[in-house]
Amino acid sequence: MTSDKKQLDLTAIRERLRAQTGRDYWRSLEELADTEEFRELVHREFPRQASEWTDEVGRRGFLKLMSASLALAGLGACTTQPLEKIIPYVRPPEQLVPGKPLFFATAMTLGGNAIGLLAESHMGRPTKIEGNPSHPASLGATDAYSQASVLSLYDPDRAQAVTERGRIRSWTSLQVALAAEIDTLKTRRGRGLRILTETVGSPTLRFQLQELLRALPQAKWYEYEPVNWDNRREGTRLAFGRPMSFHYRLDQARVVLSLGSDFFCSRPESVRYARDFTARRRARENPSDMNRLYVVESVPSPTGTIADHRLPLRPSELGRFAQALAARIAGGQPGDGETPGEHSKWLDALARDLSANRGQSLVIPGEFESPEVQRAAHQINSALGNIGKTIEYTPEPDGGRTSQSDGLRELAGEMGDGQADVLIILGANPVYAAPADLKFAERIMKPRLRVHLSPYLDETSRLCHWHVPETHFLEQWSDAEAFDGTVTIVQPLITPLYESRSAHEIVSLLQGRYRSGYDSVRDYWRSQQPGADFEKFWKTALNDGVVPGTGSAAPMAATSAVAPGAQRPQQGRTDTQGDRGEATGGPERRQTGAASPPGSTTQPRPGQRAAAPLVALQSPAQKKSDLEVGSTARPGGASLELIFRPDPSVYDGRFSNNGWLQELPKPLTKLTWDNAALLSPRTAERLGVRSEDVVELRYHGAAVQAPVWVAPGHADECVTVHLGYGREYGGKLATGAGFNAYRLRRSDTPWGGPGLEVRKTGERHRLATTQAHWSIEGRNIVRTGTVEEYQKNPHFVHEKEHGFGPELSLYPEYEYEGNAWGMAIDLNACLGCNACVVACQAENNVPVVGKDQVIKQREMHWLRIDTYHEGNLDNPKTVHQPMLCQQCEKAPCEVVCPVAATVHSSEGLNDMIYNRCVGTRYCSNNCPYKVRRFNFLQFSDKETPSLKVMYNPDVTVRDRGVMEKCTYCVQRINAARIEAKKEDRPIRDGEVVTACQAACPTHAIVFGNINDPNSQVAKLKKLSLNYSVLGELNTQPRTTYLAALRNPNPELGTE
Amino acid sequence: MERADFKPAIYGLMAEFDTPDTLIQAVRKVRAEGYTRIDAYTPFPVEGLAEEVGFHSNLLPILVLGAGIVGALGGFGLQYWVSKIDYPLNVGGRPLNSWPSFIPVTFELTILFAALTAVLGMIALNGLPMPYHPVFNVPRFAMASQDRFFLCVESTDEKFDREKTLTFLQGLHAKAVTEVDY
Amino acid sequence: MATVDQPKTATPRPEGYEAPPSVLEGDHTYATVTDKISGIVLTRKTPLSWFLIFGVGFSLMMVFFGAVGYLLLKGTGIWGINVPVAWGFAIINFVWWIGIGHAGTLISAILLLMRQEWRTSINRFAEAMTLFAVACAGMFPILHMGRPWLFYWLLPYPNVMSLWPQFRSPLVWDVFAVSTYGTVSLLFWFVGLVPDFGTMRDKAQNGTARVIYGMLSLGWRGSASHWHRYETAYLLLAGLATPLVVSVHTVVSFDFAVSVIPGWHTTVFPPYFVAGAIYSGFAMVLTLVIPIRAIYGLEDMITRRHLNNMAKVMLATGLIVAYGYMIEMFMSWYGANNFEQYMSRNRMAGPYAPIFWSLILCNVLTPQLLWFKRFRNNVVVLFLIAIVVNIGMWLERYVIVITSLHRDYLPSSWGMYHGTIWDYATYAGTIGLFLALMFLFIRVLPMISIFEVRSLVKTNRRPSHTE
């Protein structure tokens, strides 16, 4: 993309699209505007990529740094398991967990909520993460983050020793230093001690901190995480007068409306939501029962892509939309909050559909939408009688807690005026992630002693006296609470690789009595189990990955006021909550809004309209401000709305040194190694910018430069930026990638708002997308339909086929006795959440290649997710198609290999023999699906010790010059075969679970023996929705797809 | 004959001509005279000269044909044996004996064998390489590769008689007649 | 030689045959012919232009070695290839060079069988060109492999794993076709040289030269029976080389035609690849002959008649190639296969359209000038057209390889391809290698078949031969 190319002519594109008839998919704007490419060619014809060996920061950096690192040091420890007794996950029923090695139940915490995991341990080395079937947030599946966590463990960029002002110190020297401090603090009851943690999801840690605060009443503990749930809490507070935590029962909902919520990906329990939702999404059995999803959102999201109806609205509009809908549901007549005519068709249809499904409907407020939107959602849900049915509330354990943003602002203030003398930061990275207006970087210099616990030497560590490496969750003892209160004991699979400590240990140090994490956790739980046989309890807890008796918090009717803390699983929680009340000088004080942010429009004071269970519609004042918001951001106005979102790959920045996640194509944009300013085609047109133009974003005085990415389906007149990029310290991969959106962030409007100015700089920034942006050219590759179509003609999927069947093949059919492996992928269930992609990468030792190589289209993912848009540029329909080796029975790749390096196995697998491959790449050329990957250079790192440890020993690490591709996880098939042989029985259905299948939250991927008519996969393949991609080539793929079905509301039509 | 004892034995007598035609005329006469062990040397192939000199048998074509057949059978045989018997593999669901795919290699090997035989056969039958040959002892013979034409009657011919043959050759308008030493 | 006894009026003519100008002008005798040709190597002092061109070739050859060295060090990643476009310059250049080679065999074999005496003064030269072109071509399939040092796995040899090549793969066919082609061309060339080695041996003043030429001549003494067998062998070789030359580029075209990729999977490929090969081959012969003829003053042996005929062959093959393009487009439309149809559209209007259209300009439009006699007889114009056609044929392969691959079946995996500096270096490098070898050949071997030209002298002297 060269700068002198002419501006994208979007009107022309629209014309073309209007002209097109039928279901025609396109992928990108550059391509749609054909003329573009002519011009482009002239520039492209010259060897621009000649810089191959100079600019390889990504891959080269990745390798160099790792080998340079001291990883070796830790490795001695790698194969030794912790001294404490940990319990292997007992061999589970074979339908659930694949693989030979031992599995240990543990959990990963994100945003204070846990997802239960099983970590695969080879000879004491955790190599792979699976979901824990008995954990409510996982049900055996995982998200991309937990899949990638293994790489974070072995990341050689991790801090490896305790340092003071950058000089390596012994652990004891820190103990000594702190001990002295603690004594002085004790004398003044902890005055001046400030502790900053991330959202604490560990009951034990919470208990420890409260103990500490009891001992040092003057001390204060703040929680802050850049991606926090303040608005969620605030919304419930507005609606019910007290903060509630709540979760959804999507399996109970027939009609779901998301008000800006990406509930399939945005929360740790999203995996569970996806599972529940798609359970009712599969229309095959009884189409009439299929659920319907409306999504009103500003930023295109995976949730939006699976919606039956999607309406892009910018946040201010979305707010009004929510109010209007609430009004209609409540009163039936159009609400006064609504500008007449606006989206009335939508509102009418929605209101009618929702009301028609009382108790079976659900309105989900966006986690990051304003509290008013949240409140509206709760009101609608209660009006529809959904409470207790499709949504369940439980009161917050410590309702007094102030919002994290307010808390951080308070802390910043205290640091500023010197009240904070000793600052202990556990895990968080505020210098990088705090809203810019808090000037954290300056103020943090005030406290006399600053101690930072974090996995990397990051921006905050640089400004602290002491830095203590933090243990990875696979290295530490802890516990973690899930969305419904289920607690998992986090048990380590490996002793810490480096001189690292867990938060439990640091806190215990502050308490003046150092205890290992193990002791802290055990002691806490012993206190929770009076009388009961603790060892037995402990064993069960570790084994199942779920603490018995916790979880599935009893639902409560929202209207009935319930004392906070009642009906909590453990009484321990309630009294800790009480303790906290005393310790921090009482939540009531905060509730009175002492720390109210100045000029906050989106965050009304805590405690304001505290009482009434269900507050009536918003006050005129509130409405007015809403309208202002609207007017300031009308099209044509200079100012746009700014939207912050956690990055789908690196979240809030904590994963930004994780190569797997950095190279993970983000849903919909398929961007890697970068974040961008997303805006809608129309807005881009108005501003005269194109993708990869660098613009200056100016928001309330702060400014950053960001490359533009034009995102079809994005709401107009607003710009989305993703957090987590533009790191300065914290790892070779983290630093330098993308721009830092936190620079724009303000503590009073953490998720953005109006007042953004965009200025074109004229520069360009090359973005690496794994999908060259092209149109589907009316090809019959992804197939979708509506339930009506399906009911009318179950075979509609096959109508457009212009192929012929195997009966016309020139070649004899091969007989596959015994097992014949096959796969079926349900496009209806695929959300494009990427979990399978990372799972595959982790399982199969797929290398990371770096941005430069991705630009050259050399990424190595064996499994990729193709995303196709359909129709209208401003609000397209989208389908995801996981694409992996189709294991064709008449494989074109095999015939052209001159050395028989890829041949068919007796079970119909398209085997790849790396040793034999000479790298002619003919097979890749001749693969119609382009799923083969070639090691153009030495991509896999065979030097770095810590990576050697991480590799899956069952899978060859490929060398330069060798072709590779999806193997259907043949190593897992063989493991199962060995088991079956030992027991002298055939391999059972579901005994072999591929890595992608295991990770998939929605069971979209099903694998098995197609020779067995009773196998799940065989049944799926019999369905009329089943089709093979490019079947007309008669390659007879073993992987087939089930067409996606949508359930549009007849009133709104399919657009 | 005794007198012959005084002179060293010679390979033969060589007559030099300056056009192919005079050479051919000479050859005819020499043959008519009854000489059999003769040979003609020319700077380029002269049509019919070989026949005149009395050269007939030429088994080169048969050799080449044989080699071609061997190449064809060998080529296909190799592929068949490899793919069907020695290491049968399911390659893209194609039959083990995918004979149409085996044709190109079979063809190439046919050509290769035949061509090699043609050249090596020619060289061998001509008794080449032969670094030394008596005719090169005649200084003028260097012209045989340029623009002169030579006729050599070898002494092993039973009609050969040093004087008689000499005078006979001189009678054929040869530019010169010289003795060819061993 | 066989033409000696053929009355001119009786010989079958190539299309567009004209009696004068003759194939050997000037008043040449056997001796003058011999002296002139052998003199270039033995007596005349090497012209400065030789040093210039050879120097250029040699330095480019060094570039080639550099590029290959870095390639082996780093891997094929230094090139522009990617997925979907996993084949790039390497294969393009391979096909291009192989194609060029074809002219030599065609001239020496097919024209021999057709008794075209005008071939005689250019066949030696063309055969040498074939050899060196094949040498350049042969390197690319090996270099483009991910692990070149294992290239011998493509050969059938007994091994402990009893692993064999996969004979269904066109790449294996290539190995056999190209190696056979190389071998036969070498034999043909050498056999043709043997009598001339004899001449060189006899004319060389320098002792070592004598010895070397002597050895190479195998002691050739021009005996009648030898000549007889020699001619039989030569004819047989010609007979074998003729189907071979057709088969080689057919097999090369199979690399594409056998695949499933739209734009590759085409039955018209074999014929139009062969035509294209001859087309480019003759273009290359002209490109080389025209300057060399001038440098060494060989206008009397490589006459306007030769140039004229070669131009005509180019015109004919060029038209066949154009027909090939046409049919390809027609079939993709007529076949009603939307992948094929898109492929054609994409070639003509896609991102690589400029290349496609310049290909049409070079290969289809420019050669039409050859219809006109005054262009055919204008050496400069001829030279330029030849160059243009060489470029055009390279572009053709670029279009076939790249535009077919970069957008095949699944739009999700579509991409772009651009050669890197290393791609260009390797390509230029082989051109250097070719030039260097070519000019070494000119320097040390008779570039025109002496003994065959002698027989031309004969025919000039005596138009028809009588007993």
| Tens of pLDDT, residues A589-607 | 333 333 223 333 333 333 3
Q: Find chains touching chain B: ≥3 CB pairs under 8 Å.
A: A, C
User: How far away is chain B from the Cα of A867, in angstroms, using its nearest Cα?
Assistant: 29
Per-residue pLDDT at C111 exceeds 90: no
pLDDT at residue C21, as a whole number? 62
State the smallest CA–CA distance between residue A809 and chain B in angstroms: 10
Tell me whether residues A961 and C172 touch, CB distance under 8 A.
Answer: no
Q: What torsion, rounded to 10 degrees, do the Cα atoms A804, A807, A811, A816 define?
A: 110
3-state secondary structure of B16: strand
Contact A814 B93 (CB under 8 A): yes
Q: What is the pLDDT of residue A74?
A: 44
Q: Tens digits of per-residue pLDDT, A790-840?
A: 888 888 888 777 666 656 777 888 888 889 999 999 998 999 989 999 999
Q: What is the mean pLDDT of residues C238-262?
A: 92
3-state secondary structure of C35: helix
pLDDT of residue B151: 86
Q: List the structure tokens of A377.
A: 């959602």
With CB atoms and an 8 Å threshold, state whether A777 touches C411: yes
Report the pLDDT averaged over residues A783-787.
Answer: 87
Query: In this complex, is the C-beta atom of B96 within 8 Å of any C-beta atom belonging to chain A?
Result: no
B100 touches chain A (CB under 8 A): no
Instruction: Tell me what pLDDT residue A58 has.
Output: 56
Do residue A896 and residue C170 have CB atoms under 8 angstroms apart?
yes
How far is A656 from chain B, CA to nearest CA, in Å? 42
Q: Which of A900, A904, A906 sits opposite B93 (nearest CB)?
A: A904
Tell me: the pLDDT tens digits for C66-99?
999 999 999 999 999 998 999 999 999 999 999 9
Q: What's the distance, CA C229 to chain centroid?
A: 28
DSSP string over A744-795: G--SSSTT--EEEEEEEEEEE---EESS-----TT-SSS-EEEHHHHHH-TT
A896-907: per-residue pLDDT in tens?
999 999 999 999
Q: What pLDDT, on a 0 to 100 scale, did the predictor assign at position A342?
A: 66
**Whether residue A577 has pLDDT greater than 50:** no
Q: How far apart are the first and last CA of chain C?
A: 16
Shortest Cα distance, chain A CAs vs residue C407, angstroms: 9
Which chain C residues are Cβ-neighbours of A892 within 8 angstroms? 259-260
Nearest to B89 among A811, A889, A903 (CB): A903
What's residue A101's pLDDT? 76
Question: Between chains, do C236 and B20 touch, taking CB under 8 Å as contact?
Answer: no
- Chain C residue with the nearest C-alpha to that of A771: C412
Least confident residue range of A274-288, A625-639, A894-908 = A625-639
Q: Looking at beta carbons, which residues of chain C come within 8 Å of B87? A: 162-164
In the prediction, which pLDDT does A585 show? Answer: 32
Q: Do C190 and B146 touch (CB under 8 A)?
A: no
Domain B10-55+135-181 listed as CATH 3.30.70: yes
pTM, two decimals, is 0.85
- Cβ contacts of A891 on chain B, cutoff 8 Å: 92-93
Helices vs strands, H then E, count in chain A = 35, 39
Task: Determine the pLDDT at residue A152.
Answer: 92
- Looking from the CA of A554 toward its CB, the CA atoms found within 13 Å total 10
Residue A349: pLDDT over 60: yes
Q: Which of A52, A853, A898 lies at the smallest CB-CB distance from C169? A: A898
Q: Are B3 and B167 in contact (CB under 8 A)?
A: no
- Give me the mean pLDDT over the C389-405 stretch: 93
Residue A601 is given by DSSP the state S
pLDDT band at residue A428, thresholds of 50, 70 and 90?
confident
Query: What pLDDT digit, counting tens, does each position of C328-349 carry?
Result: 899 888 888 888 899 999 999 9
Rounded Cα–Cα distance for residues C255 and C172 (Å):
10
**Angstrom distance (rounded) from CA A566 to CA A557:** 13
pLDDT of residue A9: 58
Residue A128 structure tokens = 């792979």
Residue of B nearest to C249 (CA): B104
Which has the higher per-residue pLDDT, A10 or C89?
C89
What pLDDT, on the 0 to 100 scale, is given for residue A554?
Answer: 39
How sure is the predictor about A788, in pLDDT bands with cuts at 50, 70 and 90? confident
Residue A411: is its pLDDT beyond 80? yes
Where does residue C297 fall: left (phi above 0), alpha (psi -120 to 50 degrees), or beta otherwise?
left
Is residue A474 within 8 Å of residue A129, measured between CB atoms? no
Interface test with chain C among B18, B25, B44, B97, by most C beta carbons within 10 Å: B44
- Which class for A892: exposed (0-12), middle (13-18), buried (19 or more C-beta within 10 A)? buried
Task: Return left, alpha or beta for A848; rule: phi > 0 is left, psi -120 to 50 is alpha, else beta.
Answer: beta
Please check whether residue B93 touches A, CB under 8 A.
Answer: yes
How many percent of chain C have pLDDT more than 70? 93
Any residues with CB less than 8 A from the CB of A133 and at least 6 apart, and which? A92, A96, A97, A139, A140
pLDDT at C50 over 70: yes
Ramachandran sector of residue A260 (left: φ over 0; alpha: ψ -120 to 50; beta: rest): left
* Residue A504 pLDDT: 93
Bridge partners for A694 per DSSP: A707
Please confirm whether the linkage preceding C84 is cis (ω < 30° from 0).
yes
Burial of B143 (0-12, 13-18, 19+ CB in 10 A): buried
* Minimal C-alpha gap between C235 and chain A (Å): 35
pLDDT in tens, A32-77: 444 444 334 433 333 333 333 334 445 555 555 555 444 444 444 4
3-state helix, strand, coil in chain B (%, to 5): 55, 15, 35
How many residues are listed for chain B in this entry? 182
Q: How many interface pairs between A and C have CB atoms less than 8 angstroms apart?
A: 209
* Residue C342 with chain A: CB contacts under 8 Å: 777
> What confidence tens digit (pLDDT) does each residue in A200-233 have?
989 999 999 999 999 999 899 999 999 988 888 8
Taking residues A319-339, report their average pLDDT.
Answer: 73
- How many CB atoms within 10 Å of residue C55? 13
For the stretch C151-196, pLDDT in tens is 999 999 988 888 899 999 999 999 999 999 999 999 989 998 999 8
Candidate ranges A359-373, A797-811, C1-15; pick with highest mean pLDDT: A359-373
Q: How many angstroms away from the CA of A820 is the closest CA of chain B? A: 14
Please determine, for residue C204, whether its predicted confidence score (pLDDT) is greater than 80. yes
Contact A895 C422 (CB under 8 A): no
CB contact under 8 A, C184 and B83: no
**Contact between A607 and A593 (Cβ < 8 Å):** yes
CATH classification of A784-804+816-1046, choosing from 3.40.50.300, 3.40.50.2000, 3.30.1360.30, 3.30.70.20?
A: 3.30.70.20
Q: Which of B90, B96, B97 to probe the A interface (max A CBs under 10 A)?
A: B90
Which chain B residues have a beta carbon less than 8 Å from that of C186? none
Strands (E), A915-959: 933-934
Q: Which residues, listed in sequence order, are joined to residue A108 by a DSSP beta bridge?
A: A115
| Amino acid letter, B142 | A
CATH class in words for A230-399: alpha beta
Domains of chain A: which residue ranges?
Answer: 10-50, 163-227+403-544, 230-399, 634-769, 784-804+816-1046
Sign of CA dihedral A620, A622, A627, A632: positive
Helix (H, G, I), strand (E, B) or coil at C212: helix
Q: Which two tokens stand for residue A707?
A: 């490359």
Yes or no: say if A1050 and A789 are a contact pair by the CB < 8 Å rule. Answer: no
On chain A, the residues whose CB falls within 8 A of the CB of B89 are: 900, 903-904
pLDDT at A339: 55
CA-based Rg of chain C, rounded to a whole angstrom?
23
Chain A residue with Cα closest to C74: A937
What is the pLDDT, as a whole number, of residue A744?
92
Q: Which chains reach chain A with 3 or more Cβ–Cβ distances below 8 angstroms?
A: B, C
**Domain map of chain B by residue range?**
10-55+135-181, 60-125
Tell if the CB–CB gap between A890 and B90 is shorter than 8 Å: no
Give the pLDDT band of residue A576 (cuts 50, 70, 90).
Answer: very low
Contact call for B92 and A891, based on CB within 8 A: yes
Mean per-residue pLDDT, A95-124: 79
The answer to whether C58 and C426 are in contact (CB under 8 A) is no
- Enter the tokens of residue B19: 């056009």
Helix (H, G, I), strand (E, B) or coil at A826: strand
The residue-averaged pLDDT of A233-243 equals 87
Residue of B181, B166, B134, B161 lying closest to B8 (CA atoms): B181
Q: What percent of chain A has pLDDT over 70?
A: 80
Please name which of A285, A155, A99, A50 lies closest in space to residue A973, comparing C-alpha atoms.
Answer: A99
Are C82 and A856 inside 8 Å of each other by CB?
yes
CATH 3.40.50.740 describes domain A163-227+403-544: yes
| Residues of chain B contacting residue A906, judged by C-beta atoms under 8 Å apart | 90
Q: Any alpha helices (H) in B17-80, and if so which ranges?
A: 20-33, 49-53, 60-80
pLDDT the model gives residue A803? 61
Contact B93 A890 (CB under 8 A): yes
Ramachandran quadrant class, C75 (left: phi over 0; alpha: psi -120 to 50; beta: rest)? left
Nearest CB neighbour to A52, from listed C77, C168, C170: C77
Look at residue A124 and tell me whether its pLDDT is greater than 90: no
* Dihedral in degrees, nearest 10, Cα atoms C199, C204, C210, C212: -70
- Asked whether the beta carbons of A874 and A681 are under 8 A apart, the reply is yes
Listed range (A6-10, A407-411, A904-908, A1040-1044) with the worst mean pLDDT:
A6-10
Structure tokens at C209: 């030269």
3-state secondary structure of C367: helix
pLDDT over 50 at A636, yes or no: no
Window 9-48 of B: residues touching A by CB (8 A cutoff) are none
Let me know if domain A634-769 sits in CATH 3.40.50.300.
no
Name the amino acid, one letter, at A470. E
| CA pair distance C71, A194, nearest whole angstrom | 59
Is a pLDDT exceeding 50 seen at residue A406? yes
Tokens at A547, concatenated: 């603490």
Give the helix/strand (H/E) hosting A695. strand A693-699
Q: What is the pLDDT of residue A780?
A: 83
Q: Which residues of C touch B65 (CB under 8 A)?
A: none
Confidence of residue C12 (pLDDT cuts 50, 70, 90): low
Inter-chain touch C146–A775, beta carbons under 8 Å = no
| Torsion sign, CA atoms C445, C451, C453, C454 | positive
Model pLDDT, residue C225: 84
Q: Per-residue pLDDT tens for A913-971? A: 999 999 999 999 999 999 999 999 999 888 888 888 889 888 999 999 999 999 999 99
Residues of B in contact with C222 (CB under 8 A): 41-44, 144-145
Give the separation between CA A209 and CA A197, rounded to whole angstroms. Answer: 10
Q: Look at residue C177 in the predicted model and tell me its pLDDT.
A: 94
Distances (CA, A) of A785 to A300, A308, A801, A879: 21, 11, 15, 11
A206 sits in which H/E element: helix A203-215
Place of tokens 């987590």: A724
CB < 8 Å to C164, chain A = 900
* Residues of chain B with C-beta less than 8 angstroms from the C-beta of C164: 82-83, 86-87
| One pLDDT digit (tens) per residue for chain B, 182 residues | 444 456 677 888 888 888 888 888 888 888 888 888 888 888 888 887 887 777 776 788 999 999 999 999 999 999 999 999 999 999 988 999 999 999 999 999 999 999 999 999 999 988 888 888 888 888 888 888 888 888 888 888 777 787 888 888 888 887 888 888 87
**Neighbouring subunits of C (3+ Cβ pairs under 8 A):** A, B
Report the pLDDT value the prediction gives residue C423, as an integer from 0 to 100: 93
Give the 3-state secondary structure of A842-904.
HHCCCCCCCHHHHHCCCCCCCCEEEEEEECCCCCCEEEEEEECCCCCCCCHHHHCCCCCCEEE
Owner of token pair 């690496």: A768
Average predicted confidence (pLDDT) for chain A: 80
Of residues A582 and A626, more confidently modeled: A626
Closest CA in chain C for residue A867: C412
Q: Looking at residues A390-410, what average pLDDT do you find?
A: 82
Any CB–CB contact under 8 A between B130 and chain A?
no
What is the C-alpha separation between C172 and B79, in angstroms, rounded? Answer: 11
**A40 neighbourhood in chain C, CB within 8 Å:** 351
Question: In this complex, is the C-beta atom of B139 within 8 Å of any C-beta atom belonging to chain C?
Answer: no
- Taking the Cβ of residue B53 and every Cβ of chain C, the question of whether any pair is shorter than 8 Å is answered with yes
Distance (Å, whole) CA B113 – CA B108: 9
Q: Kindly list the residues from chain B whose CB atom is less than 8 angstroms away from the CB atom of residue A893.
A: 92
Mode of pairing for the β-strands spanning A864-870 and A702-710: unpaired
Q: Which residues of C touch B124 (CB under 8 A)?
A: none
